[in-house]
Homo-oligomer: A and B are copies of this chain.
Amino acid sequence: MTNLPETPVSIASIEAAAHRLAGRVRRTPLLNSPFLDALVGRPLWIKAECLQHTGSFKFRGAWSAVSVLPEGTRGVIAYSSGNHAQGVAMAARLRGLPAVIVMPSDAPALKRANTAALGAEVVLYDRALESREEIGLKLAADRGLTLIKPYDEPLVIAGQGTAGLEIAEQAAEAGITEAEVLVPCGGGGLTSGVALALEARAPGFRVRPAEPQGFDDTARSLAAGEILRNERLDGSICDAILTPAPGQVTFPVLQRLCGPGLQITDDEALQAMVQAFLRLKIVVEPGGAAALAAALFRGDALPDRPLIVIASGGNVDPALFATALERFAPEIAAIS
């Protein structure tokens, strides 16, 4: 097993990641809609990271880490419910490296299929009974692979932070100087990276993690001042952001710069997906829609400033998306 080089988490490491990502990553658009502005009663902007390569922001962090691996690296390994998996698989393929991905057996079929189609070896585990960290570390040791952690890795956080650099630039172009920035939050890699970028580039912005109800480890940890764990890791459709707890690296950043957290229900995530379909013409998965759902349904908890939300991923199984449309689109189209 080979380790990634140690890097501090800072704006400098995000800028260095942006340099490595230039030409590899998409500058995703910052979208808006007069219909959504009217619905939330203030300007609402959506950073469409579902349009990123592999359908989520995760490719940023994956390439940030994989691109620094030295010649002679034997391969990479990652554990992921599916978006980090695809990001690492694609980054490894671009580097010509083998990739092993440890995925929960209940990960969405689309995510499993895509990860395999990108050339990775997929190893399934039981989310309730087994520890993905243990499986990942053992495989890494046995095969001499470099572990690319999904969030608690400074190089990955730096890559995710490049989305924050773009938000700062795009918001400035749109004349936004103050905003609440809502971010779907699992282990906090995207949230902490974006918060660090905005601290340096858009100091009038405040970052809020958005989580599913019942899986609000980050919000509770922030309130308690210490890392608290989720009691369980299944039971929400927001698979992308069901993680055990904030990370050792991410939590101090979250604590210094973010919160309080916001919680949304599965049905609110589905309604946010339908709004994104109707008003923005983007495909967002449940976990990726958590921040948009918070903007739509938790506005009362937020200061009266413009909202920027990250739509962090779009890898949703078609049957679930069709169900969301059938359940909520008639009602939503009638309201607006």
Residue in B closest to A284 when the chains form the complex, CB atoms: B281
- Determine how close the nearest CB of chain B comes to the CB of A188; give it in whole angstroms: 23
How many copies of the chain does the oligomer comprise?
A: 2
- Determine how close the nearest CB of chain B comes to the CB of A43; give it in whole angstroms: 15
Residue in B closest to A283 when the chains form the complex, CB atoms: B281
Q: Mark A221-245, 1 if CB is under 8 A from B, else 0.
A: 0000000000000000000000000
Contacts of A322 in B (CB 8 A): 321-322, 325-326, 329
- Are A35's CB and B117's CB within 8 A? yes
- Determine how close the nearest CB of chain B comes to the CB of A170; give it in whole angstroms: 11
The interface on chain A, measured as residues whose beta carbon lies within 8 A of the other chain's beta carbons, has a size of: 37
Cα A277 to Cα B48 with chains together (Å): 14
Within 8 Å by CB of A51, from B34, B281, B318, B330, lies B281
Q: Mark A262-298, 1 if CB is under 8 A from B, else 0.
A: 0000000000001001101111100000000000000
Within 8 Å by CB of A282, from B114, B283, B336, lies B283
Residue in B closest to A93 when the chains form the complex, CB atoms: B34
- Determine how close the nearest CB of chain B comes to the CB of A309; give it in whole angstroms: 16
Check: A128 CB closer than 8 A to any chain B CB.
no
Check: A118 CB closer than 8 A to any chain B CB.
yes
Check: A319 CB closer than 8 A to any chain B CB.
yes
- Determine how close the nearest CB of chain B comes to the CB of A71; give it in whole angstroms: 24
Check: A137 CB closer than 8 A to any chain B CB.
no
Check: A109 CB closer than 8 A to any chain B CB.
yes
Within 8 Å by CB of A333, from B31, B318, B333, lies B318
Contacts of A274 in B (CB 8 A): 318
- Are A333's CB and B113's CB within 8 A? yes
- Are A319's CB and B314's CB within 8 A? no
Cα A282 to Cα B35 with chains together (Å): 19
- Are B333's CB and A109's CB within 8 A? yes
- Are A277's CB and B283's CB within 8 A? yes
- Are A51's CB and B321's CB within 8 A? no
Cα A117 to Cα B35 with chains together (Å): 8
Cα A34 to Cα B90 with chains together (Å): 10
Cα A51 to Cα B29 with chains together (Å): 9
Cα A321 to Cα B326 with chains together (Å): 10
- Are A50's CB and B325's CB within 8 A? no
Contacts of A110 in B (CB 8 A): 278, 333
Cα A31 to Cα B34 with chains together (Å): 25
Check: A55 CB closer than 8 A to any chain B CB.
yes
Check: A20 CB closer than 8 A to any chain B CB.
no
Check: A28 CB closer than 8 A to any chain B CB.
yes
Q: What are 30 pairs between A and B in contact, CB < 8 Å?
A: A26-B29, A26-B31, A27-B29, A28-B29, A29-B29, A29-B51, A31-B51, A34-B90, A34-B118, A35-B114, A35-B117, A48-B51, A50-B281, A55-B281, A109-B333, A110-B278, A113-B336, A274-B318, A277-B321, A278-B318, A281-B284, A283-B283, A318-B325, A318-B326, A318-B330, A318-B333, A319-B325, A322-B325, A322-B326, A322-B329
Q: Which residues of A contact B (CB under 8 A)?
A: 26-29, 31, 34-35, 48, 50-51, 55, 90, 109-110, 113-114, 117-118, 274, 277-278, 280-284, 314, 318-319, 321-322, 325-326, 329-330, 333, 336
